[in-house]
Amino acid sequence: MSIPKQSKRRIIFHIDMNCFYASVEMAFNPKLKGKPLAIAGNPEERKGIIVTSSYEARAKGVKTTMNVWQAKKLCPELIVMKPNFDRYRNASKELFKILSDITPYVQPVSIDEGYMDVTNTTWKGTPLELAQNLQQRILKELDLPSSIGIAPNKFLAKMASDMKKPLGITVLRKRELDKTLWPLPVQEMYGVGEKTAEKLQSIGIKTIGDLAKKDTYELKQFFGINGERLKNRANGIDPRPVDPDAIYDFKSIGNSQTLPHDTTDIKEINKLMNDLADNVEKRMKRKNAAGKTVQLMIRYHDRKTITRSKKLQNYIDSKFDILFLANELLEEHWNQEPIRLIGITVQDVENKRNIGKQLDLFTYENEANKEKLMSTIHQLTEKYGENVFKSLNDNFKEVDQQQPRTSFQKDFLDDYKK
């Protein structure tokens, strides 16, 4: 979809669903409403990790990434449930359908949040009235609470949606940033992580306002081009468009998972490596993609994390190839200390339509066999008509039943268009 040129000031919404997984479970089972609820990857296991929790649970100190046993200690009455990703995908699909009823310029960024450019909608009221109408529609039709940020660009809209939760609507205007945004601690700025915040504080930048006023040259000395970008955003400058096709831009596909306990047991490690490679293969096939680099991430018992990668000359997409390279990296770089988490990622990813055939001595025979198969299929199609065979891609369009690992992948963010 082409992005329209804006001749007037943009009006951008950022929609952020409140406690999405927990809220979906409450909508599915209203008896859970008002109770402390947490979603965890492995509720039965001592070291199961909290993925999200309701506001009732958060009030008792329950936080994302906390171990289940820690959460139960803080909140003994906590209800802990396994995630139901099919349910969350369906809710997300319905959410983005509602957003796309208002404008075609919708950009999902995860299962529970997205941007909308409502500059040129046919809505007759004010942007605030549109946001109120949208929020109530989501609540009425899906029984799900949301917060909405309204601003002239994506960065400010994102910051605005975080300011009032649950069921908040916040407007951020550039002319008011000295009062609304600049007094906030710099670590609360979207795009500033823990390490960046520490570096900023080391050069005297404590607030977003300090960043907005800092010398650009000095920031670039510390952070490169990102220093100037951060300063621009602190000043409310962000020219990025709301791009509906951004969900198709990906350069890596990966999965990671925390082990039930820190371990050096090679059987446990090999089983997890196998599961991760299998899941990466499924996701790559669903995206009709292949990649040239395999990266292994290892997080040890003391939280020290290493990433090591191997780059190939040819593209790969099979579990066998992914796992073979990941195992090579494990054998070469694992220091035999207990492992807490493993991640496997395929990088330098391209859609297969963009990849030219790269035949070598090992793939030539394979490709020749495929040619014979395609010739046979063509002959049968000529004789019996279209759709004699169902393509591999169609099989993957059914629904990938493999549950996502540490975070929800972006594989399903275009489902609302189907």
DSSP for 325-357? HHHHHHHHH--SSPEEEEEEEEES-EEGGGPPP
Confidence of residue 367 (pLDDT cuts 50, 70, 90): very low
Domain with CATH 1.10.150.20 in the chain: 182-234
Catalytic annotation, pick one of 44, 56, 77, 113: 113
Phi and psi of 293, rounded to 5°?
A: -130, 135
Q: Which of 73-87, 155-169, 361-375 has the lowest mean pLDDT?
A: 361-375
Name the β-bridge partners of 58: none
In this prediction, residue 49 carries a pLDDT of: 84
> If you average pLDDT over residues 172-184, what whole number do you get?
96
CA dihedral 199, 66, 73, 304 (to 10 degrees): -70
CA 45 to chain centre: 25
Return binding residues for Mg(2+). Answer: 16, 112
The average confidence (pLDDT) of the chain is: 86
Euclidean distance between CA atoms 174 and 172, whole angstroms: 7
Domain with CATH 3.30.70.270 in the chain: 1-174
Domain with CATH 3.30.1490.100 in the chain: 250-415
Does residue 342 surpass a pLDDT of 60? yes
CATH number of 1-174: 3.30.70.270
| Contact of 263 with 383, CB cutoff 8 Å | no
Q: Is 113 a catalytic residue?
A: yes
Strands 350-351 and 146-151, by their bridges, are unpaired
Q: What is the pTM of this model?
A: 0.72
In this prediction, residue 246 carries a pLDDT of: 82
Which of the pair, 90 or 48, is modelled with greater confidence? 90
Does residue 403 surpass a pLDDT of 70? no
Does residue 139 surpass a pLDDT of 90? yes
In this prediction, residue 148 carries a pLDDT of: 98
Confidence of residue 362 (pLDDT cuts 50, 70, 90): very low
In this prediction, residue 276 carries a pLDDT of: 95
CATH superfamily of 250-415: DNA polymerase, Y-family, little finger domain (3.30.1490.100)
Share of the chain above pLDDT 70, in %: 83
> If you average pLDDT over residues 340-346, what whole number do you get?
95
Does residue 387 surpass a pLDDT of 90? no
> If you average pLDDT over residues 3-11, what whole number do you get?
70
CATH level 3 topology of 182-234:
DNA polymerase; domain 1 (1.10.150)
> If you average pLDDT over residues 283-310, what whole number do you get?
91
In this prediction, residue 247 carries a pLDDT of: 78
Does residue 77 surpass a pLDDT of 80? yes
Containing 260, the helix (H) or strand (E) segment is strand 252-263
